[in-house]
Structure 1
Amino acid sequence: MDALRMEVENLNAMINELSKRVSKEKDRGLQTLPEVDEWITWAEEVETKASNLLDGSISECHILSKCDDFSEISSSTHSYNESVRMTLKEVEALRSKGVFKVLVERSPLSLVKKILPPLQKIVSREILFEKVWKCLAGNQCGTLGLYGMAGVGKSNLLTRIKKKFEEVGDVSGHMILLVVVASDEVVESIQDEIYKRCYILLGGEAKDHKAKAIWNLLRRKRFVLLLDGIQKEVDLEEIGVPRPSRENGCKIVFTTRSREACGSKWVDAVEEVTCLGPEEAWEVFEEVVGETTLKSHPDIPQMARIVARKCGGLPLALTLAGKTMSCKRTVREWHHAINVLVSSTKKNSSSEVPILKFAYDNLPGEDIRSCFMYCTLFPKIWDISKQELVDCWIGEGMVKDEDREIAEMKGYEMIGDLVIMGFLTENESGDGVKMMHDMVLEMASWIASQASDSGRHAENIVVKCGKRIISCQRSMIGEW
């Protein structure tokens, strides 16, 4: 009986944790998988049956206490004991099947609608996209550079270009390669990613050997190469990429923060991606915060405009700040947000850091903040398996519970929260995540450096991902 009681308590905890995750996914407009809903229904029925058995345990124990030997035990008591035994097995089976890596159907349209809703509707962004696409669709432009400050929406624009090429792919016949440049070693970083995308076996070759292999493959293809995050001018010949021309019909589009990176002789056209104007920025912020919150008090809309202005027209900052403030429905909370942003802006030369730090500080609890910081150990281009990430969090003691299944569900709930808030993004299959944006990763590094400067957890900072460090001095590690 004690075993059944303990299993029922653990089952209840699993039902509650899973129900919270399901509720959050439905708030995002996503449809949960049928097996998830079926498990919750089944679990609730079994929990009710088990609770009824536990409620009758006192009377059954009283009956048993009056029996002097086994022969005096009634058939009804035997039946009750068998029901307890069978229900215990059923509860154990339920719990073993109650950890779900993926809760929802992967619906690209609904994901775009919920995660990136405002950016698809902004008039200036639509005009820019149409201008860029018209340029690429013509024969005069083979290589296009998109530049602008961090968080302004370059990667989002590049993603839209990729989807447009995919839509016309059957007609154009282009092979589409999207490469996220995640290292200062630009040439080798791009080469390695092209190797992976084209299923060329890596053999540790030198750059010139890789360039020859890539050239031999791409010179026979009609390709679209999309490079996200170029930091400096790139030599196509050094990478091994044939130069686009009117004859081969190939296209290259790259994003960069630096206007100087667009100065190469092989760049045919350049477009700047600028910050949003005040009214468009307000429209983004207003949509992300939501009508319910904005109407919760007459003074909140005016204060919301102040917070929106602090975002400087950056879509990333507007989205993160908007999601953070979407649950703040008192004047006091909005006053506090404004005071924090004003005071922290004075202390930082970068206007973006205070907004991102504010969103980080408003994550629900120190545990989830620690789990987010753990994610910064992975390179930004990596798809981190959700299960492996949860296993790491549990192994590091960041997610704790005596029951392993409940600990896993808590870990998955934290991943869901970080995705909803915009700190992580899911892959297409839904079983993995990666950092949402360079600026988020840079903000995390800044937080870590502040902790290091103040002497807190300084020994935890060893290397920065993607820097191809092959040796580490003792001074980098500190005292263990």
Structure 2
Amino acid sequence: MRLMVAEQQQQMKRLEQVQGWLSRVQHVQTKVRELTGERSGGFCSMNCLSSYKFGEKVVETLQDVQSLRNEGNFKEVAQARPLPENLVDEKALPPILVGLQDSTNQVWRCLMEEEVGILGLYGMGGVGKTTLLTLINNKFFDTPNDFDLVIWVVVSKDLQLKRIQDCIARKIGLFSRSWNSKSLLEKAEDIFKVMKRKKFVLLLDDIWEPVDLAQVGLLVPSATRASNKVVFTTLEFEIGGQMEAHKSFKVECLGYEDSWKLFEVKVGRDTLDSHPDIPELAKTVVKECGGLPLALITVGRAMASKKTPREWEHAIEVLSSSAFKFSSMEKKVHSSLKLSYDFLAQRCIEILSIVL
């Protein structure tokens, strides 16, 4: 009964010596059934030698039973399940990283402060919050730390506590066939039993509303007890307050020099050098992107094949005119996407005209 409680309710793993004892018990039980079968099957030999041998078997089995009873008084029957060896899942990064090294170092130093348990990263869409969070995640590989595990969860607009619980369960070895049949409360209780003994970092990417960590099954880090850490990314600064973040870090757009480096890589020197007027036009395009990495990457890829000044002038017109249709946070993203869409539509028309 103790073993059943430990395994089913506490999600623990039986000790090897307990498993060995149970195997010996099973072996003795088989011997008892065989002996009982011999007696109940009408065995009553007048042969003294046979009766003597049967008696020896009974005495020997009784001695085994008594020995097992004496040895079966275990103080502990199970232990916590071992965590996976790879406590940090390394995540892929973009091939080109510009202007994030200083931010990564700042966030890391802030995260290591004792009084910081919950840290929010906020900024407009496409500014690089997920990339920054990825850099923090991967930094646990090559930087000494005393955490037991790092857990990454993509939350997105449709908040589902079940998804967060499932990610944690997979990381700590709780996920099984029976896991999905449990209620949110049962899952939270199972997670709490394991995680209360662990020092963890939880990385929540792209949250749109506050996440109730207690409902997930986690101890909520406080400013006085910040052994565990929670880092999240969000669009709105207000979410940090609702999550009771101990510190919030704004992810800023790139400066002009870093913007040009990123844009230059995406466009390619071959295109920039294809006409003497294009470099100057390209600088105007970069300024229109406002230092937003997503806009720089999207527009840079769209302009990689444009080798005439007129095409670049058209791009500037699209970027500047469409920007007025959107709010300050969205205009750079929308205008860059519109430019890419226009070029894609134009290319489709060209291909169709050739086919027809």
Separation in 1 of the partners of 2:151 and 2:109?
A: 20
| Residue 251 of structure 2 is aligned to residue 277 of structure 1 | no
Residue of 168, 176, 182 corresponding to 2:143: 168
| Residue 96 of structure 2 is aligned to residue 117 of structure 1 | yes
SS in 2 for 1:127: helix
Aligned to 1:177: 151
Aligned to 1:355: 336
Q: How does 1:243-392 map to 2 (within 5 A)?
A: 243-244=220-221, 249-264=227-242, 266-349=244-327, 350-351=330-331, 352-363=333-344, 366=348
| Residue 114 of structure 2 is aligned to residue 133 of structure 1 | no
Aligned to 2:125: 150
Separation in 1 of the partners of 2:160 and 2:119?
A: 18
Separation in 2 of the partners of 1:366 and 1:239?
A: 48
Instruction: Classify 1:268/1:207 alpha carbon distance in 2 versus 1 (closer, same or farther; 3 Å).
Output: same
Aligned to 1:215: 192
Separation in 2 of the partners of 1:248 and 1:324?
A: 46
Q: What amino acid sits opposite 2:300 in the alignment?
A: G
Superposed CA offset, 1:449-478 (max 9, x none):
xxxxxxxxxxxxxxxxxxxxxxxxxxxxxx
Identity percentage of aligned residues: 41
Q: How does 1:43-58 map to 2 (within 5 A)?
A: none
| Residue 202 of structure 2 is aligned to residue 225 of structure 1 | yes
Separation in 2 of the partners of 1:244 and 1:279?
A: 39
Aligned-pair CA distance for 1:185: 2.6
Instruction: Classify 1:194/1:366 alpha carbon distance in 2 versus 1 (closer, same or farther; 3 Å).
Output: farther
Separation in 2 of the partners of 1:173 and 1:118?
A: 27
Could you list the runs of 5+ residues in structure 1 that have no partner in the other structure?
Answer: 1-107, 368-480
SS in 1 for 2:180: coil
Separation in 1 of the partners of 2:104 and 2:196?
A: 28
Separation in 1 of the partners of 2:150 and 2:319?
A: 42
Separation in 1 of the partners of 2:263 and 2:210?
A: 35
Instruction: Classify 1:330/1:366 alpha carbon distance in 2 versus 1 (closer, same or farther; 3 Å).
Output: closer
Aligned-pair CA distance for 1:147: 0.7
Aligned-pair CA distance for 1:183: 4.2
Residue of 208, 212, 219 corresponding to 1:235: 212
Could you list the runs of 5+ residues in structure 2 that have no partner in the other structure?
Answer: 1-89, 350-356
Bigger radius of gyration among the two: 2
Q: What amino acid sits opposite 2:282 in the alignment?
A: A
SS in 2 for 1:221: coil
Separation in 1 of the partners of 2:132 and 2:141?
A: 14
Q: How does 1:97-112 map to 2 (within 5 A)?
A: 112=93
SS in 1 for 2:238: helix
Asked if the contact 1:233/1:260 (under 8 Å) is kept, the reply is: no
| TM-score calculated relative to the size of structure 2 | 0.64
Q: What amino acid sits opposite 1:177 in the alignment?
A: I
Separation in 2 of the partners of 1:190 and 1:137?
A: 24
Aligned-pair CA distance for 1:165: 1.1
Aligned to 1:194: 168
Aligned-pair CA distance for 1:248: 7.1
SS in 2 for 1:203: helix
Asked if the contact 1:233/1:263 (under 8 Å) is kept, the reply is: no
Aligned-pair CA distance for 1:116: 3.7
Separation in 2 of the partners of 1:306 and 1:339?
A: 11
Q: What amino acid sits opposite 2:239 in the alignment?
A: A
Q: What amino acid sits opposite 2:274 in the alignment?
A: S
Superposed CA offset, 1:113-151 (max 9, x none):
xx44142xx2xx322211111112232222211111111
Instruction: Classify 1:306/1:204 alpha carbon distance in 2 versus 1 (closer, same or farther; 3 Å).
Output: farther
Asked if the contact 2:118/2:246 (under 8 Å) is kept, the reply is: yes
Separation in 1 of the partners of 2:348 and 2:168?
A: 39
Structure 1's consecutive aligned runs of 4 or more residues displaced over 4 angstroms after TM superposition are 245-248, 363-367
Q: How many residues in Structure 1 have an aligned counterpart in Structure 2?
A: 252
Q: What amino acid sits opposite 1:238 in the alignment?
A: Q
Asked if the contact 1:182/1:189 (under 8 Å) is kept, the reply is: no
Aligned-pair CA distance for 1:163: 0.4
Separation in 1 of the partners of 2:324 and 2:137?
A: 39
Superposed CA offset, 1:374-432 (max 9, x none):
xxxxxxxxxxxxxxxxxxxxxxxxxxxxxxxxxxxxxxxxxxxxxxxxxxxxxxxxxxx
Q: What amino acid sits opposite 2:214 in the alignment?
A: E
Aligned-pair CA distance for 1:271: 0.6
Superposed CA offset, 1:250-272 (max 9, x none):
22111011111101464221111
SS in 2 for 1:320: helix
Separation in 2 of the partners of 1:308 and 1:263?
A: 34
Instruction: Classify 1:163/1:339 alpha carbon distance in 2 versus 1 (closer, same or farther; 3 Å).
Output: same
Q: What amino acid sits opposite 1:216 in the alignment?
A: K
